[in-house]
A and B are shown apart, each in its own frame.
Chain A
Amino acid sequence: MRARSNSLHIFEVLATQHQSMLLAYLVSLVGDYALAEDVAQQALVIAYRKIETLNDPAMFPSWLRGIARLEGLAALRKRRREIAVPPGAIDELEEAYRRFEQEYSTHTWEERFHLVEECFEQLPDTLRTVCRLHYFENHKAWQIAESMTLNLNTVLKRLQRARIAVRDCVEMRMARETRVS
């Protein structure tokens, strides 16, 4: 019983270390923070039950994402939501996370996420504002369009441009990091 409690404690530490990554991954996948939280909870419970199948502890983040991916897709199917992300893109997402881990090797996900934040802060005001409203305050694109008296297409375009700009910045910073190391 004591051994089980110890393993539970170790798992809690691991889960806490990777919580932000898990949630960000699931938000990318299911596109809804509340649902991502529910799925993350379920994925962690399953991960603990299956922890003995994990051979290499270093693989924990990608192994956890694998479980989260299955649970996330199952939750979307259950909600009868169209799975907006094609399988190829899900593989690319996993590949992006692997690169992020390898090429920007810090101790915590929060530090890696700080890199994304720095890139976000470099965006022009117009793009930053729509991103804040959409990603931080959960406003839908049409709501942003209404409140800012913009065309819906314009809002979608700005969101897309913001994501691309952040992506390019992150890619450049990761490449620089790789060269330095």
Chain B
Amino acid sequence: MNEEKPDSSEIPRQPEGLEMMCAGILGTQFGRRKSSAVAKAMIRLRAEEAAAPQPAGNGPASWRERIVEWSRRLQPGARFALATALIAITGLAARVLWSEGWINLGRPQNSGWIYKVSDSLQARWAGKSAKAGDTPGTGWLRLESGVVEITYASGATVAIEGPARFRAPNFNVLELTSGKISADVPKRARGFSVKSPTATVVDLGTRFGEIVNSASEVDVFQGAVELSAASRSTGGPWRLSQSKGLIVDPLSAVPAAALPESAFPQPNLTVLARPQNCGFDVSARAVLGGVPSDFGYWSGPAFALVAPVQNIRPFEGAGMLRFLTPAGNPAADSEVWQLIDLRSFKKFLAHGGVEARLDSMFNRIPADERFGQKFGLALAAFRGPPIDSKFLWAERATTALVTAAKELTADNDPATWEKIEISVKLPPETDFVIVEICAVAPKTSKPVAEPFPGNFADRVDLKLCAPLRASAISTSR
């Protein structure tokens, strides 16, 4: 074999300018390699021009524009006086409404119940029982085994694992004499507290777990809590932050490394894994092409991010996506994709049974059956890096871990947006998902030149939902 001897002593050299230029020209096969970069850029630019607002003076201005224009004409002093008056009126109105009980800051809107049982898992009760949907009131309950999830009217959610004895004396307090719990407390329920015979935990916006037997152990998963002992001689109060734990018994308080979350029962948890620019409201990166080769941007053969068009206004925000006809192929569906990186949710997915819930809103202008009336939403989950995503998507029946898809025939009313929802259980090994929204081309023998005269999508939302589950690790503490 005629093989050159590699010079191993040579330090790898950086190609200089002219050499790099030649390499780039070779990479395009001397400019002969086919490219549609200009064509795609022009489609985008034409769509932007078509959607650009008409010059002023062509029609009546909107109320918002009129108010802005009117406020511009005011002198700075008058503007300040007007703003002060508006603030004063708003404050006064809020005070009147509050004193009359029309608004209720920090307290639950629903005064009929304190908490309800929102889910349960093989729950066995001693004495009075409660099933999902029940509102048990303020009395004591004894859970012999299994797990229940209770949701307070304040928004706090607590998973309780038996054997446990508890009650909710008011809208943001749990009293626990024994058992294992974990609490997920949203901002609006900040101040939620758990009282045990040895300690009281006051939440400062967080997720935490507590084990109550002869002592109380509190472990913080996220955020911070304030902990005070029932007995003054024990000391405290203490502020615990993420990954910190404290064991409080009637005589002492001992810091401890926090137990993992899996040592506690877990309530239903939902995290958002929305696509980038999910509402199409900002002019972020969007590419006319095939399935994207990377995360975080929309790509499809023919689409545009637009403001209100004709009589269709966005479902939410200022923008929406308009499906256009793929160049030279009016019989093809107009598809748009995005790759969503789920590697940062690995820990969450590792619990198993996590469900991906994807939904999107669709709308269209009235048109007969010669035009696209259907929309589609699809999702496929994959393992590994997104290499050759076009192939992965095309062959998703065999390459994907799981897939889900749904179609909907939209009504002829541009005033209503219609929702497609799909859900699928994601395996723990999922690394990323490909999301597709599409306008389905009509299946006719003679397709019209422009099958999508006004087909739109808005607010694509992806949630990951972990179900209620029991603790996976038994603890001796």
Contacts and interface: CB of A to CB of B under 8 A. Distances in A.
B31 A113 contact: yes
A135 B23 contact: yes
Interface residues of A, number: 72
A41 B37 contact: yes
A41 B294 contact: no
Interface string A92-105: 11111101100000
B19 A40 contact: no
A29 B24 CA distance: 8
Given A96-B18, A113-B31, A116-B22, A8 B37 contact: no
A96 B21 contact: yes
B95 interface: no
B61 interface: no
Contact of B49 (A4, A99, A167): A4
B38 A78 contact: no
Contact of A163 (B2, B22, B30, B35): B22
A96 B44 CA distance: 31
A149 B1 contact: yes
B180 to A, nearest CB: 40
A143 to B, nearest CB: 14
Interface in A153-169: 153-154, 156-158, 160, 163-164, 166-167
Contacts of A160: 13, 15
Contacts of B31: 20-21, 23-24, 109-110, 113
A12 B18 contact: no
B42 A8 contact: yes
Given A4-B49, A86-B14, A116-B25, A40 B30 contact: no
B27 A27 contact: yes
Contacts of A154: 3-4, 6
Interface string A119-163: 110000010000100011000000000000111011011101001
Interface stretch (B136-144, B282-290, B416-424): B282-290
Contacts of B15: 89, 160, 163
Given A19-B38, A93-B20, A151-B6, A166 B287 contact: no
Interface of A: 4-5, 8, 11-12, 15-16, 19-29, 33-38, 40-42, 44-45, 48, 75, 78-79, 85-86, 89, 91-97, 99-100, 109-110, 113-114, 116-117, 119-120, 126, 131, 135-136, 149-151, 153-154, 156-158, 160, 163-164, 166-167, 170-171
13 contacts: A5-B49, A25-B21, A36-B27, A37-B35, A37-B36, A41-B40, A41-B41, A44-B37, A89-B16, A92-B18, A113-B31, A151-B3, A163-B15
